[in-house]
């Protein structure tokens, strides 16, 4: 069985900045594909889960569309799984992920220097991820404390299932932070789910091209800015 994704290739033309992100003092970051290159662990664990259902995937890199959205959505959207099958697939995914996949990731080069610049510029920093919050806490608290030390908040999906979409996670984070002026925040992410979630919550957004999305995806989702590097994010934010 083959997934029904279109396999678009990345485009990276020169970027321009019609305006800066003025009056912004808080940055929300996606985790996977934005701060951490976690693709191998996610894709290999998805490959493992699919094999459980008799669906062979010869090259795990063909599963890059698993990076970003909630896992159960990917199993249902790309492979037609029922709700029960998707739940079983997520269990199999986590079986491998917690044993091996969580260690098959690394922070992007230069990310700590970038976050230091952001903090020096006076920004509040937060992670808003489609990972379960306990998993995000493990990644930035135990595996990569250099990231956790540079974050004021970490927001993610809950075990009860009340927070599912990226918009759910963002709105819950804004509530916890006591935000009253949403114009002062920016969402930074590499997939359309980050951009769509930000728009649903009334936030501007920066789409990044070094992760797992591409320019067309980010433009179609409505990203306010699109950046190729941490340096370009700094140009937009003035960090």
Contacting residues for 30 by C-beta, under 8 A, at least 6 apart: 68, 127, 128, 129, 130, 166, 187, 188, 189, 190, 191, 194
32 included as an active-site residue: no
What are the backbone dihedrals phi and psi of residue 156, each rounded to the nearest 5 degrees, phi first? -155, -175
| Contacts within 8 Å (CB) and 24+ apart, 115-119 | 115/147, 115/150, 116/150, 117/234, 117/239, 118/27, 118/150, 118/234, 118/237, 118/239, 119/150
What is the DSSP code (8-state) at residue 64? G
CA–CA distance, 167 with 97 (Å, rounded to integer)? 25
What is the DSSP code (8-state) at residue 118? H
Contacting residues for 85 by C-beta, under 8 A, at least 6 apart: 53, 75
Quick one: which of 217, 220, 167, 211 has its CA closest to 190? 211
Distances in Å between the Cα of 6 and the Cα atoms of 11, 45, 67, 76, 213 are 15, 21, 15, 17, 12
Write down the catalytic residue from 6, 25, 30, 32.
Answer: 30
In three-state secondary structure terms, 187 is strand
Active site residues: 30
């Amino acid at each position: 069985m083959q997934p029904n994704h279109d396999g678009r290739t990345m485009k990276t033309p020169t970027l321009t900045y019609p305006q800066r992100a003025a009056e912004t003092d808080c940055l929300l970051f996606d985790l996977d594909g934005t701060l951490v290159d976690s693709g191998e662990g996610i894709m290999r664990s998805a490959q493992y889960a699919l094999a459980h259902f008799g669906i062979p995937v010869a090259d795990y890199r063909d599963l890059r569309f698993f990076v970003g959205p909630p896992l159960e959505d990917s199993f249902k959207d790309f492979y037609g799984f029922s709700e029960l099958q998707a739940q079983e697939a997520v269990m199999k995914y986590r079986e491998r992920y917690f044993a091996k996949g969580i260690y098959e990731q690394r922070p992007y080069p230069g990310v700590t220097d970038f976050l230091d610049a952001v903090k020096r510029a006076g920004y509040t920093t937060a992670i808003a991820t489609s990972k379960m919050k306990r998993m995000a806490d493990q990644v930035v608290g135990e595996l990569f404390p250099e990231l956790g030390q540079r974050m004021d908040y970490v927001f993610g999906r809950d075990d009860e299932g009340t927070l599912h979409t990226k918009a759910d996670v963002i709105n819950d984070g804004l509530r916890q932070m006591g935000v009253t002026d949403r114009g002062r925040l920016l969402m930074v992410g590499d997939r359309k789910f980050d951009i769509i979630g930000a728009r649903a919550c009334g936030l501007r957004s920066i789409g990044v091209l070094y992760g797992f999305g591409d320019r067309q995806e980010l433009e179609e989702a409505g990203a306010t800015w699109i950046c190729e590097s941490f340096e370009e994010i700094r140009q937009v934010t003035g960090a």
